[in-house]
Chains A and B, each alone.
Chain A
Amino acid sequence: MKKIFYIALCAIFFASCSDKVYEEINTDPTKADYINPASQLTYAELQIFGDMNYVDVHRLYTYAFTQHLMGCWNTTNYGGQHRMDDNEMARPWNNLYPAAIRNLTDAIAQTKDDPEQVNVYAALRIFRVYVGSLLTDYYGDVPFFEAGKGYSEGVSQPAYDKQEDLYRFFFTELEEAAALFDINAKAISSDPMFNGDIAHWKTFANSLRLRYAMRISDVDADLAKEQFNSALTAGVMASATDDACVKHMNVSYSFGQESYKDFRGNAMAKYFFGNDPANNPTYICQTFWDQLYNNNDPRTKRLCRFYIDDYMSISTGDGRIDVTDAVISTQEANPSSDVIYKIAPGEYSWDNWPSYPSLPGSALDAKIQLIQAAHPGYNPGDNPRWLMPKLANNFLESENPGVIMTYAEVCFLRAEAAVLGWTSDNAKKYYEDGIRAAMDFLYDNYKCELITDAEYAAYIAQPAIAFGAGSDQQKSQINTQAWILHFHNPAEAWSNRRRSDYPSLVPPTGSKNPLIDGDGSIPVRLCYPLKEETYSKTAYQEAKDRVPGGYSWNARLWWDVK
């Protein structure tokens, strides 16, 4: 009896640590060992505009370098004053690789041998190219081919691939992937960009080739031309319904910890709202304002508004008092007075502190009296920042789309290709279609008031806007229009401006706020994170050494020769 007892005891003891039992214990019951690869595509798509950690780079640097925005502390302090900050410059690097790149890479590996999954497989490959292009356009040579393979292939120090090689690969990859789509295979079940529509995926892949061909037009015109035409043949975006926009959701305004993990809302819109909205709203840079306003652009008042924010809600744009018409008309009626205060590149909103213009009988005066009737005790001179142009409320909505690529952009690319003689397209037609599409884009996506045919016609009839003669002027016009369009796609705005050098931007003059780092010209790349020196020393050093003329953020990328 005793013996049996002891044997039983020993049996229980050893059974409790058999490898099978152990494996069960060491399996997290709350996590899966398989997930639908389309959900990983969803994650990557949403990250581009939904990840607060990543998109902050636009507020801090991109919009300052494109001179769309200026004046709020974040934009002026970093991009506006050319202040290098390792942490902030690392935002695309530290966030895109471990999220979008990792999951796209993983899902590609999961689906590549499964013919049923060919549609999602092709979409994953296309989107990985797109994310790779973002990275290389920020930093130059970057890990791509081996990136994201820390687990699948055990690569912990991926090589830095030359930008040149990457662009060449992008073309073949997009071509190959677009050819894979099969209407008979399984649909892409989760896809907030095209809702699984493979025809849209195809035109998107081909349109990206247009973009990348134009990007390398100065360094490899032959390949660029060939790819451009090949993409056109394959079929590119032909109307706004083809737009590649990621659908975002309306989530509440919050900067709490978990909102950094929540990619559902448009994070750029959240930053536009400001994380201290009443104090630090999004101001329009003088450069952008002048371009719109001085050219009587009907988009001026759709994009830029004048608001009194004293009664603004803390979490929505509610309560802002719109005084746009009064401010603009008063300025126009009193051209010698300072009514509108513009923020020059490199300036903080408080550097040129406005003062309320005492203009009795003006439209503004009348408007203020109305406001005072509704808000007794309101003193317009107390906080006169409402005399500076701010971004319109329409762009602060969480459900605004994440703009990846649009038909309007395709128009501008085709216009420029025609100017370059790559195609026989009608450059003027595409230029004008592009403007029209860019205007409609605001109505379609941001609930802006529709720009009427009359407004449009009046706009393009102006000598400065009407498609000119001579390729330099045409390129300038096309790319200036692209720059206005790309306000909604800051990464592309910066890249296309660096590539085309239009519009020509004057670097900030640092009288009040000296430029801190670099040679004084507008930076043309972000620096690699310093940590790479520790993690990937050899590859990092090689990539830096490859930069002609020495590595700095004023050193041009491979495709940026002019």
Chain B
Amino acid sequence: MKIYFRHALCLLVLLLGTTGWALAQNVVTGTVEDADGPLIGASVLVKGTTVGTITDFDGNFTIEANVGDELEFSYMGYTSQTIKVTGNTVNVTMSENTEVLSEVVVTAMGIKRDRKALGYEVGEVKGDELTKAKEVNVANSLAGRVAGLVVQGTAGGASGSTRVMLRGTTEMTGNNQPLYVIDGVPMDNTNFGSAGTEGGYDLGDGISSINPDDIESMSVLKGPAAAALYGSRASHGVILITTKKANTGDAKWSVEYNGTLTFDSQLSKWDNVQQVYGMGSNGQYNVDAVSNTNKSWGPKADEGLMLRYYDGQEHPFKIIPNNTANFFQLGLTANNTAVVSMNTGKTGIRFTYSDMRNKDILPNSKMSRNTLNLRANTSLGPVDLDFNVNYTHEDVKNRPALGDDKSNVGKNLMTLATTYDQAWLKNYETAAGEYQNWNGMDPYNVNPYWDINKNKNQSYKDLLRMNGKIVYNVIPQLKLQATVGAELNRFEFSDFKYPTTPGFESGRLQNSFFNNRMFNAEVMGIYTDTWGDFDFTATAGANVYNVNNRTTINTGTDMGIREVIAMSSFEDQSVEEATYNKRIVSVFGSANLGWRHMLYLDATVRGDKSSTLASGKNLYVYPSVSASWVFSELIKSNRKVLPYGKLRLSWAEVGSDTDPYQLGLRYTKSQFGYSGYTIGYVYGNTVPNADLKPTRTRSWEAGFETKWINQRISLDFTFYHQNSRDQIIAMATSPTSGYDYRMINAGEILNQGFEITFGARLVSVKDFTWDLNINWSKNINKVLSLTEGTSELELAKATWCNVYVSAREGEEYGSICGPALARTDDGRVIVDGKTGLPTFTSENKVLGNAQWDWTGGLSTTLRWRMLTLTALFDVKVGADIFSMSERSAYETGKAMETLEGRAAWYASEEARRAAGVTDIDAWRASGNSMVGGYVVEGVIDNGDGTYRENDICINPEDYWYEVSRKSPEMFIYDNSYIKCRELTLSLDFPKNWLDKKGVVKHVGISFVARNPFIVWKNIKDIDPDAQYNTSGLGLEYGSLPSRRSYGLNFNIKF
């Protein structure tokens, strides 16, 4: 790795010194035209070099080329030509190529189709867009690339999972994530665990184990019409991943190396911290410096003052700017992939080995992932065979604890007093190796050094994914194919807390074993024919999908032998078991009819029978129809202005089942044994329902696709409308029913919106081009109804301020709700006349919404000779977030705004003490004009329907303490942002610079950056992508700093 880079760097220096390099050569001139006249902006390139130009307004060009060189002429929409230079003039007449317009996309069932035949929108991402600036989880690379595709990472970092959403939330509950299909086989994207209200770990998801170097392309099937053939599992859209096959071409062997090395550092920092007052409470510090360590309500910092801390060390009482940032280290991610590919005639083999290592910015936290992928394909007469096997091993050490977890390092550091340096916490253990009390044993702020050094968690994942496809070409029109895929996913997570850890005083070890098995088999016949002006394709097939998951969780408490971290070291052990078994058997068919490459009609139908529903309700059939009209075919004369225009329209219905075991009541006993007794109970907290019927989602979409001015500009537009009804929901219910939820068919949720994609080649001169792509989408996600007598469904709960995120009837999905401040009719806050504190209403109100108003992306590529600069921006606007981190910043007196009223209050208190008055009320009542402090902006009820302006001075610490526990609306922020997701500057060596024999096919070197900067955000201190899990929308707590990474990518191909 290192050697490669050194070589590459030498080359880079050499090359940059010679960019002006151009030997005096023969000058060739000429004209490029088509049947109608000159072509403006056609590109002319000396083959095998970077020497190139474009034609002017009259179609003329001038280029330096030697006799014998080959000139390549290309123009969008025309067939390229190569002409050997024989003299000083070369004139070319180009001919239109109708084929160029036919862009092939992979659609449902892996069928490749002409884009113009599709009556629905399909987004596409090419594999090579993902291989340079790599993300550890490839799903994160999709952010900002496709209209309507929203990607949100979590605070979990590299090893965490990613939330991907297509066209909003269609189901009230459930994960709402799209189905990933790899080479025709659905993937298990199980998230083994995520942080909840009480905290926890993000154990990652299935998509993260895909190596971007193996991806040929990703097709994003957004709407049900596109995905209808995949059935229930595709009701949230489908992302089809086509992996690479062995290169076809002349070479029998090809070897490729792709390496990326990036350094990871903190992207977001705490920047709204007051720099005046230090540790303490009520304007006073504690002499022992053991309590109030996480409060900055002390006196003004004073450098001359020395305090003695928990470990006997003395430190000055001064403000330490960025007092926690240095806890984090410089992270490192190295990603090395080698590809060997071979083909002989009809047989191709491609083998990939990839090694990813990541050292996180959180000390002692690291991960590695090895991926082996073998793809083999061959043809035996009329039979094509294709086989793929992938093995992934992933090893993660010390995932960060998230949310309200006692071990969340981010949460525990963020409130550390302004005068407290995190480095002082390094003496985390006593001589006996036990927890060193540093803050009065506050169990909610565990010493982060203890957590990263004494407590351990580790996970292993072994994933084996196989699929094989056999295609029998019966006659040229008819193909029969069978696909079999299987996935074995074994995941082991072990979480250890050393005895004396606050909250886990007796020690604890939890080993979780996940054994997931998925099997999918499919047979399908494809018939294609042409009759005169008509093209016809029909498919029919059947599918069996089977999942068997088994989970065992062993927990040990009360550690008897501290020296060995093993289950047998624990006195009290308990076991929990769970399974997830499900089968869906389906039949499906489709028919496509095309007329004159201009009008297309598609129809599909699928029937599923799911094991999760009761007999009689478990069979459901759903159709889709779509049409497309390539109207540009009618206006051929206008080819240069509008070479391509298409209108499309589609309608679909999809049915959806549920999780297993929702139909009947089950019992279990406690995981804890109590000798002589059995502790038994009704299992679960949901009322089962044997009458569940499938969820129905109906949708239609309409749109157009156009390409303008020789295809230099493209503009696509889609409007969609989706209605999911009879949803299978675990509806929250009054606990007085004995259950917290009941399974029902209810509710209706509406998603509608627009998607616009715009692309343009802004500049194309000589050897410089500038491309710009913009996508924009707006989704309105409304909860139309829930069920009789219930108007709200809680989706996630926050640890503070009684806040929760819910689906409320008549509101947008994802309402952030909680108690609101009591206000007068004209909106003034009503203040309690006794306490001077604000008052609250006794009902929960909608205070914000966690969904984006609109999202978009902007990518741009600038090419100049062998240099390419790309940038990708991700824009998300209009969502709210309840930031419990900010809440803590105010409660603990760290936020800048908490300065208000402090000086006045402390002065007033000093005066009171000097006057010998012990009672604050008496002091206030004495009308002492010196009373100062924080005055809540609001009015006091006079009790007779009138109000007076509040003038009660209170301790700002009391004020912020009260509101930070009761008033969520103060800590709900606009979470909009524009982030630069990716920057790459790459240098692709021209072929003629490589060795003459042609052994080296490609050398490229790039500077890459992921998430290098946030262009704009509205929330202070934290990263807007800092939610602690993928389902708890709109809630943030104790997020670790997000990561930015920058480094180099090197690619060489033989």
Scan B440-472; emit 1 where CB is below 8 A from any A CB, else 0. 111100000000000000000000000000000
CB <8 Å contact, A255 and B504: yes
Q: Is B667 an interface residue (CB 8 A)?
A: yes
Q: Which residues of B are in contact with A by a Cβ distance under 8 Å?
A: 198, 288, 291, 434-435, 437, 440-443, 497, 499-500, 502-506, 508, 510, 542, 544, 555, 557-558, 571-572, 574, 577-579, 581-583, 585, 609, 611-612, 615, 618, 660-661, 663-672, 674, 676-683, 685, 687-688, 732-740, 742, 789-792, 794, 802, 819, 834-835, 837, 842-844, 919-921, 962, 965
| Interface residue from B441, B665, B677, B791 paired with A278 (Cβ < 8 Å) | B441
B101 to chain A, nearest CB (A): 41
Is A532 in contact with B734, judged by CB distance below 8 angstroms? yes
Chain A residue contacts of B497, Cβ below 8 A: 256
Residues on B with C-beta less than 8 A from A259 are: 557
Across the interface, name the chain A residue whose C-beta is closest to B612. Answer: A26
Distance to closest chain B CB from A353 (angstroms): 11
Q: How far is the CA of A143 from the CA of B615 in the complex (A)?
A: 35
Check: A292 CB closer than 8 A to any chain B CB.
no
Given contacts A40-B681, A516-B837, contact A30 B579 (CB under 8 A): yes
Residue of B nearest to A22 (CB): B611
A157–B734 CB distance below 8 A: yes
A17–B609 touching, CB < 8 Å: yes
**Across chains A and B, which 3 residue pairs bring their CB atoms closest together, nearest first?**
A39-B680, A102-B738, A150-B737
**B737: which of A155, A191, A511, A516 is its contact (CB, 8 Å)?**
A155
Tell me the bound Cα distance from A263 to B734 in angstroms: 23
A5 within 8 A of partner (CB): no
> A156 in the interface, Cβ–Cβ < 8 Å?
yes
Quick check: B291 and A25 within 8 Å, CB to CB?
Answer: no
Report yes or no: B672 in contact with A26, Cβ–Cβ below 8 A: no
Instruction: Check: A46 CB closer than 8 A to any chain B CB.
Output: yes
Interchain CA distance A283-B1052 in the complex, whole Å:
72
B500 x A314 contact (CB < 8 A): yes
Report yes or no: B666 in contact with A31, Cβ–Cβ below 8 A.
yes
Within 8 A of B (CB), among A110-166: 142-143, 147-151, 154-158
B544 touches A536 (CB 8 A): no
Expressed in whole angstroms, the Cα–Cα distance for A277 and B738 within the complex equals 35
- A156/B583 in contact, CB under 8 A: no
* Residues of B with C-beta under 8 A to A106: 665, 682, 738
Which B-chain residue is minimally distant from A534 (CB atoms)? B792
User: Which residues between 22 and 76 of chain A lie within 8 Å of chain B, taking CB atoms?
Assistant: 22-23, 25-36, 38-40, 42-43, 46
Query: Is A264 within 8 A of B579, CB to CB?
Result: no
Is A94 interfacial (CB 8 A cutoff)? Answer: yes
Q: How far is the CA of A189 from the CA of B666 in the complex (A)?
A: 21
Q: Quick one: closest A residue to B836, CB to CB?
A: A514
Given contacts A97-B735, A151-B738, A315 and B505 within 8 Å (CB-CB): yes
Closest Cβ of chain A to B506, distance in Å, is 4
Q: Is A156 touching B734 in the complex (CB atoms < 8 A)?
A: yes
Give the interface segment out of A85-93, A465-473, A489-497.
Answer: A85-93
Taking the nearest CB of chain A, how far is it from the CB of B581, in angstroms?
5
Bound complex: CA of A454 vs CA of B738, how far in Å? 51
- Seen from chain A, the residues whose Cβ lies within 8 Å of a Cβ on chain B are 13-14, 16-17, 19, 21-23, 25-36, 38-40, 42-43, 46, 85-87, 93-94, 97-99, 101-103, 105-106, 142-143, 147-151, 154-158, 189-192, 249, 251-259, 261-264, 275-280, 314-315, 382-383, 511-512, 514, 516, 530-538
Given A158-B736, A536-B736, A264 and B674 contact (CB-CB distance below 8 Å): yes
Q: Are B291 and A279 in contact (CB under 8 A)?
A: yes
Contact in complex: A158, B737 (CB < 8 Å): yes
Q: A33-B664, A531-B732 are in contact. List 11 more A-B contacts (CB 8 A).
A: A34-B667, A43-B680, A97-B736, A156-B734, A157-B734, A157-B737, A189-B678, A276-B442, A516-B962, A534-B790, A535-B733
Whether the Cβ atoms of A93 and B735 lie closer than 8 Å is yes
Cα A276 to Cα B434 with chains together (Å): 15
B-side contacts of A278, CB under 8 Å? 437, 440-441
> Which of A30, A39, A155, A535 lies in contact with B678, CB distance below 8 A?
A39
**A180-B497 Cα distance, complex, nearest whole Å:** 50
CB distance from A51 to the nearest CB of B (A): 12
- Residue ID in chain A nearest B797 by CB atoms: A87
For A315, the closest partner residue in chain B by CB is: B505
In the complex, how many angstroms separate the beta carbon of B172 from the nearest chain A beta carbon? Answer: 14
Among B505, B678, B742, B965, residue most surrounded by chain A Cβ atoms (within 10 Å): B505
Q: Which residues of A contact B921 (CB under 8 A)?
A: 511
Residues on B with beta carbons closer than 8 Å to the beta carbon of A535: 732-734, 790
Q: Please give the distance in Å from A262's CB to the nearest CB on chain B.
A: 5
The answer to whether B678 and A42 touch across the interface, beta carbons within 8 angstroms, is yes
A516 to B835, CA, bound (A): 7
Are the C-beta atoms of A276 and B574 separated by less than 8 Å? no
| Complex: A151 Cα to B682 Cα, angstroms | 11
Structural contact, B790 and A252, CB atoms closer than 8 A: no
- Shortest Cβ distance from A174 into chain B, in angstroms? 22
- Nearest residue (CB) in A for B837 is A516
* Most chain B beta-carbon neighbours within 10 Å: one of A31, A154, A261: A31
Residues of chain B contacted by A537 (CB below 8 angstroms): 789, 791
Docked CA distance A155–B733 (Å)? 10
A534 touches B791 (CB 8 A): yes
Of all chain A residues, which has the CB nearest B543? A13
Q: Is the CB of B572 within 8 A of A28?
A: no
Residue from B688, B738, B834, B843 in contact with A514 in the complex, judged by beta carbons closer than 8 Å: B834
Distance (whole angstroms) from the CB of B943 to the closest CB of chain A? 13
Output the nearest chain B residue to A263 by Cβ-Cβ distance: B679
Which residues in B have their C-beta under 8 angstroms from that of A262? 670, 672
Q: Which residues from chain B contact A512 at a C-beta distance below 8 Å?
A: 920
Instruction: Evaluate contact between B665 and A151: CB separation under 8 angstroms.
Output: yes
B669 A257 Cβ-Cβ under 8 A: no
B679 near A28 with CB under 8 A, answer no
Given A34-B667, A190-B678, A252 contacting B571 (CB threshold 8 A): yes
User: Residue A98 contacts which of B504, B585, B738 (CB distance < 8 angstroms)?
Assistant: B738
Per the bound structure, the CA–CA distance linking A101 and B670 in Å amounts to 17
- Contact between chains at B738 and A150 (CB < 8 Å): yes
- A264 contact set on B, CB distance < 8 A: 672, 674, 679
Quick one: which of A13, A27, A151, A275 contacts B687, CB cutoff 8 A? Answer: A151
Identify the interface centre among A98, A103, A534: most chain B CB within 10 Å of its CB.
A534
| Contact sample, A vs B, 23 pairs, CB 8 Å cutoff | A14-B585, A16-B585, A17-B611, A22-B615, A25-B581, A25-B583, A26-B661, A26-B663, A31-B661, A31-B683, A35-B668, A39-B678, A46-B679, A93-B736, A142-B736, A151-B687, A151-B688, A190-B680, A252-B506, A253-B505, A253-B506, A314-B500, A535-B732
Distance between Cα atoms of A273 and B844 in the complex (Å): 35
The answer to whether A315 and B506 touch across the interface, beta carbons within 8 angstroms, is: yes
B572 touches A276 (CB 8 A): no
Inter-chain contact A256/B440, CB cutoff 8 Å:
no
CA distance A157 to B791 in the complex (A): 13
Q: Are A277 and B739 in contact (CB under 8 A)?
A: no
Separation of A190 and B732 alpha carbons in the complex (Å): 32
**Smallest distance from the beta carbon of B893 to chain A beta carbons, Å?**
17
Given contacts A106-B682, A190-B678, A314-B434, contact A254 B736 (CB under 8 A): no
Inter-subunit contact B667/A258 (CB<8 Å)? no
Known interface pairs A86-B802, A279-B440; A254-B506 also in contact (CB < 8 Å): yes
Residue of A nearest to B437 (CB): A278
Known: A93-B736, A258-B557. A33 touches B678 (CB 8 A): no
Give the residue name and chain of the B residue nearest to A143 (CB).
Answer: B736
Contact B611 A26 (CB under 8 A): yes
The answer to whether B834 touches A39 (Cβ under 8 A) is no
Are A32 and B585 in contact, with the CB atoms below 8 A?
no
- Residues of B within 8 Å of A29, CB to CB, are 579
Closest Cβ–Cβ distance, residue A170 to chain B (whole Å)? 18
Q: Which residues of B contact A531 (CB under 8 A)?
A: 732, 734, 794, 844
Q: A28-B660, A33-B667 are in contact. Are A276 and B502 (CB under 8 A)?
A: yes
Closest to A276 in B: B441
Contact present for A158 and B734 (CB under 8 Å): yes
Min CB gap B843→A, angstroms: 6
Q: Are B618 and A22 in contact (CB under 8 A)?
A: yes
